[in-house]
């Protein structure tokens, strides 16, 4: 039994990293407008069948004011994770986040998968997928503070603490691009669309090799 388990484990490892497609992780501080930029790209690329805009699973109700996601209670999320329902998961701000396991098949089939991600999950993404692009959406500090305050979810102290945490994190490694979303969404949106189009072209080439 032990030998069999070890063989299965090694076979599972051999499947990674998953190739052909591209995973685009959109990261950045709260208030930067990640969902806005992703939504803009979804509108512009609605006719492109090679792109998947991934719907995350979160242990938070979907209020319709920001990202549209699927909701699970904590216990149900844990059960889903144990059953292999997620390609990867992470925790942040007291919530659990999951990327559906179907993304693995999409990447293997040469598709481009786009998801609102987390900086903490980037190392795992790079191990799981051969082609990972990290797009950091940013905005000027005063704009971040204004956007966060307008949500009314946190006190001024909590907003300042969140901004301080975000400023302390620096992204590194290959495939990292930063987009400033301080202005009209069309400006940042078109920059992001250009990145997605490059990923689509890369996937087309990878799938023919």
Residue 30 known to bind ligand:
yes
User: What's the rounded Cα separation, in Å, for the pair 49 and 45?
Assistant: 9
pLDDT above 70 as % of the chain: 78
Indicate whether 165 belongs to any domain.
yes
Two tokens at 88? 């990867």
Residue 208 has pLDDT above 50, yes or no: no
More confident residue, 182 or 145: 182
Average per-residue pLDDT for the chain: 84
Indicate whether 169 belongs to any domain.
yes
Q: Using DSSP bridges, classify how beta strands 70-71 and 57-58 pair: parallel, antiparallel or unpaired.
A: parallel
- Residue 165's pLDDT band (cuts 50, 70, 90): low
Residue 63 known to bind ligand:
no
Indicate whether 7 belongs to any domain.
no
64-117 pLDDT per residue, tens: 656 788 999 999 999 999 999 999 999 988 899 999 999 999 999 999 999 999
> What pLDDT is stored for residue 209 in this prediction?
45
Q: Which residues pair with 183 in a beta bridge?
A: none
**What mean pLDDT comes out for the span 143-148?**
81
> What pLDDT is stored for residue 175 in this prediction?
82
Closest CA to 113 of 199, 183, 177: 199
Residue 184 known to bind ligand:
no
**What mean pLDDT comes out for the span 15-22?**
92
Indicate whether 11 belongs to any domain.
no
More confident residue, 49 or 21: 21
147-156 pLDDT per residue, tens: 777 766 566 6
Indicate whether 75 belongs to any domain.
no
Count of residues for the chain? 209
Indicate whether 90 belongs to any domain.
no
**What mean pLDDT comes out for the span 156-165?**
62
Residue 152 known to bind ligand:
no
- Residue 63's pLDDT band (cuts 50, 70, 90): low
3-state secondary structure 48-109: CCCEEECCCEECCCCCCCCCCCEECCHHHHHHHHHCCCEEEEEEECCEEEEEECHHHHHHHC
Indicate whether 163 belongs to any domain.
yes
**What mean pLDDT comes out for the span 20-43?**
94
- Residue 143's pLDDT band (cuts 50, 70, 90): confident
Two tokens at 109? 């089939």
User: What's the rounded Cα separation, in Å, for the pair 157 and 154?
Assistant: 8
5-14 pLDDT per residue, tens: 433 444 444 4
CA end-to-end distance (rounded Å), the chain:
38
In which domain, by residue range, is 144 found? 19-54+104-206
Give the contacts of 68 (CB within 8 A, at least 6 positions apart): 55, 62
User: What's the rounded Cα separation, in Å, for the pair 176 and 60?
Assistant: 29
> What pLDDT is stored for residue 91 in this prediction?
92
The CATH number that applies at residue 183 is 3.40.50.300
Residue 39 known to bind ligand:
no
Residue 31 known to bind ligand:
yes
Give the count of domains, the chain: 1
């Amino acid at each position: 039994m032990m030998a069999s388990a070890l063989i299965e484990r090694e076979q599972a490892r051999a499947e990674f990293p998953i190739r052909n497609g591209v995973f685009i992780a959109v990261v950045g501080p709260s208030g930067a407008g990640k969902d806005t930029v992703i939504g803009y790209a979804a509108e512009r690329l609605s006719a492109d069948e090679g792109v998947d805009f991934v719907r995350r699973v979160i242990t938070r109700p979907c209020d319709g004011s920001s990202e549209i996601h699927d909701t699970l209670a904590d216990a149900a999320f844990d059960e889903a994770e144990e059953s292999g329902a997620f390609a990867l998961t992470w925790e942040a701000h007291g919530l659990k986040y999951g990327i559906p396991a179907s993304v693995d098949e999409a990447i293997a089939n040469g598709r481009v998968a786009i998801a609102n991600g987390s900086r903490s999950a980037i190392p795992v993404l790079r191990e799981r997928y051969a082609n990972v692009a990290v797009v950091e959406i940013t905005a000027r500090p005063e704009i971040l503070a204004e956007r966060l305050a307008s949500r009314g979810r946190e006190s001024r102290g909590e907003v300042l603490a969140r901004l301080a945490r975000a400023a302390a994190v620096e992204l590194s490694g290959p495939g990292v691009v930063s987009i400033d979303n301080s202005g009209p969404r069309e400006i940042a949106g078109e920059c992001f669309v250009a990145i997605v189009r490059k990923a689509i072209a890369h996937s087309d080439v990878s799938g023919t090799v």
